[in-house]
């Protein structure tokens, strides 16, 4: 019982801590840009439910921490509905109410009466803050810790595999894929995993000469120590490099920023590629994860960091570095998710404001309400699908089947 509780804490606590930090940064992005434009704010909240901490500052802003650390929000003064985009009738009623209570001109401090470009920047600031957080984390890691670059040296070619059919040989050094230089073996793995059915042009160095190889990854289902059971592309290569070939690189601050931007862009590019392959039917979507899968990954990373070195100091450093890297990846995911054009998300609000900028009037209340309902349904469907994937990876249904029989 105690062991099960300890395992649950290992999986849940790191996930909640990382999520809380990311949500705080996201909401702080909205808040700081809003305050820069003089927007009146009622509340900045992290977590939901009954407040465990609450304080109102001299600007009348309530700073609150709820007991349930699963999100957060910034409440602007005058929010009328869940979509936070009132139509003309709602705006007129809000303006009359504000003028009656505070006098003419007071409405200019309210979010809904700010120019469209300011409202769009305020809404976009949340996801942008997530990307900035990721870039900052990567920059710090690349400059202070550095990265181990391992050349993509072919150690073994699986007989009968796509790699064998394409002409790969043991000892080949992969130098580029589709014309893009390869610095680390991990780049090859990520590209191949997301390219099942798509030919990849490899350039390898063999006996000092460049050789062109065209190979098409095949789809396989395998167990990943972090993600669980996933279906990915593979060509049948084992990559390994000697310690003499590997090099540890620490970048100067300017280079680290560039690498941080590149890493963030690569994660976003990989996400877009995967989603595009889902919509075109080339991926099953089994790598989409919900809270269960993310918590499982967090727990697996925690266990790996703890097991890497039994020394308490080394253990603490490994755990800190692992969770920091995990926070960067998760922050990118949350920023991307919020930019999707779904009405209940920041991206949906941006779509509404884009319409308002063109039509010179807000979206009708009925349309907003319908969009809000559709958005909730889409998010619920996505969450159910991701949770189904998580349960499948955890083999829960096989476990339940065993109980029944």
Residues designated as active site: 27
* 3-state SS track over 15-45: HHHHHHHHHHHHHHHHHHHHHHCCCCEEEEE
Going by C-alpha positions, the residue among 140, 124, 130 that lies closest to residue 18 is 130
**What DSSP letter does each residue of 167-214 carry, written as one string?**
T--TT-EEEEETTEE--SHHHHHHHHHT-TTS-EEEEEEETTEEEEEE
Q: What are phi and psi of 232, to 5 degrees?
A: -140, 170
Q: Are strands 228-234 and 41-56 parallel, antiparallel or unpaired?
A: unpaired
Dihedral, CA of residue 348, residue 354, residue 355 and residue 356, to nearest 10: 110
CA angle 256, 258, 260 (to 5 degrees): 65
Backbone angles phi, psi at 247, to 5 degrees: -145, 140
**Rounded to whole angstroms, how far apart are CA atoms 140 and 146?**
9
Q: Alpha helix (H) ranges present in 40-159?
A: 88-102, 116-140
């Amino acid at each position: 019982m105690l062991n099960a509780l300890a395992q649950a804490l290992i999986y849940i606590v790191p996930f909640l801590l990382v999520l809380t930090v990311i949500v705080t940064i996201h909401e702080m992005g909205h808040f700081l840009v809003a305050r820069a434009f003089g927007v009146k704010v009622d509340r900045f909240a992290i977590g939901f439910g009954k407040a465990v901490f609450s304080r109102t500052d001299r600007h009348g802003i309530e700073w609150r921490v709820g007991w349930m650390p699963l999100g957060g929000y910034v409440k602007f003064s005058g929010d009328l509905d869940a979509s936070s985009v009132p139509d003309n009738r709602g705006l007129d009623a809000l303006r009359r109410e504000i003028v009656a209570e505070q006098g003419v001109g007071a409405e200019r401090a309210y979010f809904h009466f700010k120019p469209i470009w300011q409202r769009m920047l305020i809404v976009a600031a949340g996801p942008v803050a997530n990307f900035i957080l990721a870039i900052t984390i990567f920059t710090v890691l690349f400059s202070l810790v550095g990265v181990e670059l391992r050349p993509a040296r072919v150690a073994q070619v699986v007989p009968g595999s796509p790699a064998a059919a394409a002409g790969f040989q043991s000892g080949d050094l992969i130098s580029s894929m589709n014309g893009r230089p390869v610095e680390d073996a991990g780049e090859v793995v990520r590209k191949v995993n997301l390219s099942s059915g798509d030919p990849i042009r490899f350039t390898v160095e063999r006996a000092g000469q460049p050789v062109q190889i065209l190979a098409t990854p095949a789809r396989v289902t395998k167990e990943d120590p972090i993600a669980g059971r996933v279906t990915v592309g593979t060509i049948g290569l084992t990559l390994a490099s000697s310690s003499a070939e590997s090099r540890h690189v620490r970048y100067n601050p300017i280079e680290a920023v560039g690498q941080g931007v590149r890493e963030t862009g690569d994660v976003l590019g990989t996400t877009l590629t995967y989603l595009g392959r889902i919509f075109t039917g080339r991926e099953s979507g089994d790598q989409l994860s919900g809270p269960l899968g993310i918590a499982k990954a967090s727990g697996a990373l925690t266990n790996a960091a703890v097991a890497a070195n039994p020394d308490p100091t080394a253990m603490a450093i490994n755990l800190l570095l692992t969770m920091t890297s995990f926070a960067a990846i998760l922050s990118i995911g949350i920023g991307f998710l919020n930019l999707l054009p779904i009405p209940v998300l920041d991206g949906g609000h941006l779509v509404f404001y884009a319409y308002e900028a063109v039509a010179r009037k807000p979206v009708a209340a009925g349309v907003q309400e319908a969009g809000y309902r559709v958005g909730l349904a889409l998010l619920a469907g996505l969450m159910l699908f991701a949770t189904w994937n998580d349960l499948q990876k955890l083999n829960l249904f096989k476990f339940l089947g065993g109980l029944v029989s």
